[in-house]
């Protein structure tokens, strides 16, 4: 059975993506900071007949993140799909003229150190099975920096650069790397921004394996 690991799993997008991949026969590993939180989500998905387990790890705790991914692979099988989508913390949103070097530590730990750690942990398993998909989910500040959210703008830019380099480096190995940019956030009354619609879009990124970057609300992929 193929496994998807969703890092930053929550009751919106994470749960919707888990359901979408689960209905395609994937086992699902849900990773978030609190065990009770992922256990609750896992129970709801299990009621739908999905093979799912929850694992607690803060993405800024790299040892815990490695352990969660290792345990998930041991429990469910090699991770073929990795979705990295933890929500930014409120303190990452300081305006640029107020943000200190210390204020940038958290965003960089979450959006640079976390993804690098996760990818390096799952890549051997993807290479072993000869395929894989790595998905980065970001807001628009990843490509259009905003002075009102300095921490995420700086850290997401690093995550975007890392993802683009991975896309180019891993394509010859049948491992697809994609980034989905969600302008204006999830929900908000826009049908294509609702969790179920976004989960369908994420499934298509895995299935169709096109260019690196796509935007919600635009049909054309951008390399």
**52: in domain:** yes
Question: If you average pLDDT over residues 126-134, what whole number do you get?
Answer: 96
**73: in domain:** yes
Query: Is the model's pLDDT at 146 over the cut of 60?
Result: yes
Which pLDDT does position 220 carry in this prediction? 40
**59: in domain:** yes
Query: Regarding beta strands 27-32 and 52-56, do their DSSP bridges make them parallel or antiparallel, or are they unpaired?
Result: parallel
Distance separating alpha carbons of residues 87 and 157, to the nearest angstrom: 15
**136: in domain:** yes
**Where is 136: in which H helix or E strand?**
strand 132-139
**195: in domain:** no
Which pLDDT does position 183 carry in this prediction? 85
Provide the domain limits for residue 139. 3-189+203-215
pTM for this prediction: 0.94
**223: in domain:** no
Question: If you average pLDDT over residues 139-151, what whole number do you get?
Answer: 92
Taking the CA atoms of 92, 122, 126 and 25 in sequence, report the sign of the dihedral they define.
negative
- 116 burial class (0-12, 13-18, 19+ CB within 10 angstroms)? middle
Q: Which has the closest alpha carbon to 55: 46, 16, 63, 42?
A: 42
**38: in domain:** yes
Number of domains in the chain: 1
Band (pLDDT 50/70/90 cuts) for residue 222 is very low
Question: If you average pLDDT over residues 65-73, what whole number do you get?
Answer: 98
pLDDT tens-digit profile of 195-216? 999 999 999 999 999 999 999 9
Query: Is the model's pLDDT at 218 over the cut of 90?
Result: no
Question: If you average pLDDT over residues 78-96, what whole number do you get?
Answer: 92
Q: 8: which residues sit within 8 A by CB, 6+ positions away?
A: 14, 31, 32, 59, 84, 85, 86, 87
pLDDT tens-digit profile of 13-66? 999 999 999 999 999 999 999 999 999 999 999 999 999 999 999 999 999 999
Q: What are the φ and ψ backbone dihedral angles of 29, each rounded to 5 degrees?
A: -110, 120
Give the CATH number, domain containing residue 115.
3.40.50.720
pLDDT tens-digit profile of 44-59? 999 999 999 999 999 9
**198: in domain:** no
């Amino acid at each position: 059975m193929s496994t998807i690991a969703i890092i930053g799993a929550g009751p919106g997008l994470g749960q919707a993506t888990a359901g979408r991949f689960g209905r395609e026969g994937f086992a699902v590993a849900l990773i978030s900071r609190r065990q009770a939180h992922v256990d609750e989500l896992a129970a709801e998905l299990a009621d739908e007949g999905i093979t799912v387990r929850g694992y607690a790890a803060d993405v800024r705790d790299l040892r815990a993140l490695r352990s969660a991914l290792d345990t998930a692979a041991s429990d469910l099988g090699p991770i073929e799909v990795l979705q990295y989508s933890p929500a930014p913390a409120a303190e990452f949103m300081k305006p640029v003229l107020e943000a200190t070097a210390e204020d940038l530590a958290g965003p960089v730990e979450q959006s640079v150190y976390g993804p690098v750690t996760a990818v390096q942990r799952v890549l051997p398993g993807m290479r072993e099975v000869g395929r894989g998909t790595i998905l980065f989910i970001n807001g628009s500040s990843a490509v259009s920096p905003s002075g009102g959210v300095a921490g995420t703008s700086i850290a997401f830019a690093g995550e975007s650069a890392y993802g683009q380099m991975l896309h180019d480096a891993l394509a010859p190995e049948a491992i697809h790397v994609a980034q989905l940019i969600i302008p204006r956030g999830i929900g908000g009354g826009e049908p294509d921004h609702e969790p179920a619609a976004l989960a369908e879009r994420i499934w298509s990124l895995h299935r169709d394996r096109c260019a690196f970057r796509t935007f919600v609300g635009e049909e054309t992929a951008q390399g």
